[in-house]
Amino acid sequence: MNFSDLFFLYAFLPVCLILYFISPKIRYKNTILIIFSLLFYSSGNLLAAVFISGYSLLNFSLGRFIENTRGRKASKVLVTVGLFLNLGMLLVFKYTGFFVENLNSIFHLSLRTPSMWLPLGLSFFTFRTVSYLLDVYWEKIEAEKFFPDFLLFTSLFPCTVAGPIVRYSTIGGELKDRTINVDDMYQGLTRLCVGLAKKVLLADNLIAIVDAYWAAGNETVSTVETWYTVVVYSMYVYFDFSGYSDMAIGLGRIFGFHFEENFNYPFMCRSVAEFWQRWHISLGTFFKDYLLYVPIFGKMRRYGGLFLVWFCTGMWHGASWNYIIWGLYFGLFIFIETLLGKKRLKKIPLAVKHIYTKLIIVIGFGIFRFTDIKQLGYFFRNLFFFSKGGFSGSMMSVYFVNNVFLFILALICCFPLVPFVREKLSAKRPALATAAGVVWGIICVALFVFSSIVLVNSTDRPFLYVQF
């Protein structure tokens, strides 16, 4: 099931909301959410509900044991076992085929590549439970005592499949007690509408342009076409993933949960480091808090930790070399910026910083796109004026003219114009703030209706990050 399915929007979600809001007590509300979360998660495979329930029971038990043995060696043993089991499961399910293929290639073997079922959202909820076990061990949080609440934390459908990576410390209290007011409903519903519009009206149309050029490979795509397509692809990834995050955060808010932000207009950045402070924030903060300062590199701890973070960032995204290259590519530029220091970076003209960061980011998305290393090589060749398709390409002007309004609209939506206008109105004329809120609500409803109409005749395109 997908957030942008008409069945989800007009059947699954309304029924869930009705049953949720007629339930008188928080425990009954949680039960409704658990049932619907398991239904959502198992919509493609009935065994998925059994898997995530067993997975939750394992980590619930480990959390209790770790807490009960605090201050003893057994606690350290248990958290180590917990990390080994969680990360080991991630490696087995997600990377077994990758390891086997590389062993066959390096040592000329003929090992059979196993065909394994990959649980949806495995990378996301694995990191969620890893953070839970470590926070219990470090005494940052108390272990959950009531298994149904922990099962809800693990399986909560707004954030299970594609994030954000919600920590127990963020919503642990709201599992027990939460209230929902008018502002929660307004913020949640408008956020849901905006996320859907990002996906259906922008992302799905942008990827159609990308597919027109790259679906069959990019060996003969011209230099100008390559640059145009990779810019479009960058915006597609942003609107697809941030659209999902908006819908997840909005749904959480409707049910009374306050998830932390996952995107903060990343293309506003003036450095590569700032880009990653604004992009997929929940993943970046996870690595910063749990991996960056791992004491295994001695005197090189600062730079060794940086390498480990960006290697794992790439590896986390998928079992393919291009993701590892992509992670290390960004890590390299952050390493360079670290060496330069903030004082030197401030002296660089603002225009230069914006041009530099956008070039690095856009090329990075090209690396992200091509899992085939040969196609990745063609991509780099085409970028730097060695394309077999020449410099411009015969269809470039046609594609650009036909999609110019979509391109401009997407470009505008990359920047915080709506928050800027609302902030200015609130500051100058507070009376207009309420009116602006009403107008924005009407616009969001219109976006929802229009997106629904488009979905009737569209081909289903799952959110990109569901595969991770």
Terminal CA-to-CA distance of the chain, rounded, Å?
16
Which of 131, 147, 125, 171 has its CA nearest to residue 64?
Answer: 147
> Which ranges constitute the DSSP H helices of 145-181?
147-155, 157-160, 168-176
Q: Residues 258, 280, 317, 354: which is the catalytic one?
A: 317
Residues contacting residue 72 through CB under 8 Å, at least 6 positions apart: none
The answer to whether 132 touches 93, Cβ cutoff 8 Å, is no
The answer to whether 151 touches 186, Cβ cutoff 8 Å, is no
136-141 long-range contacts, CB within 8 A, separation 24+: 136/63, 136/66, 136/67, 136/79, 137/66, 137/70, 137/75, 137/76, 137/79, 139/70, 140/169, 141/168, 141/169, 141/172
- DSSP 3-state of 237: helix
| Alpha carbon distance 223, 304 (integer Å) | 37
Per-position b or e across 4-26, b if 16+ CB within 10 A of its CB: bbeebbeebbeebeebbeeeeeb
317 is catalytic: yes
| Alpha carbon distance 317, 167 (integer Å) | 19
- Active-site residues: which are they? 317
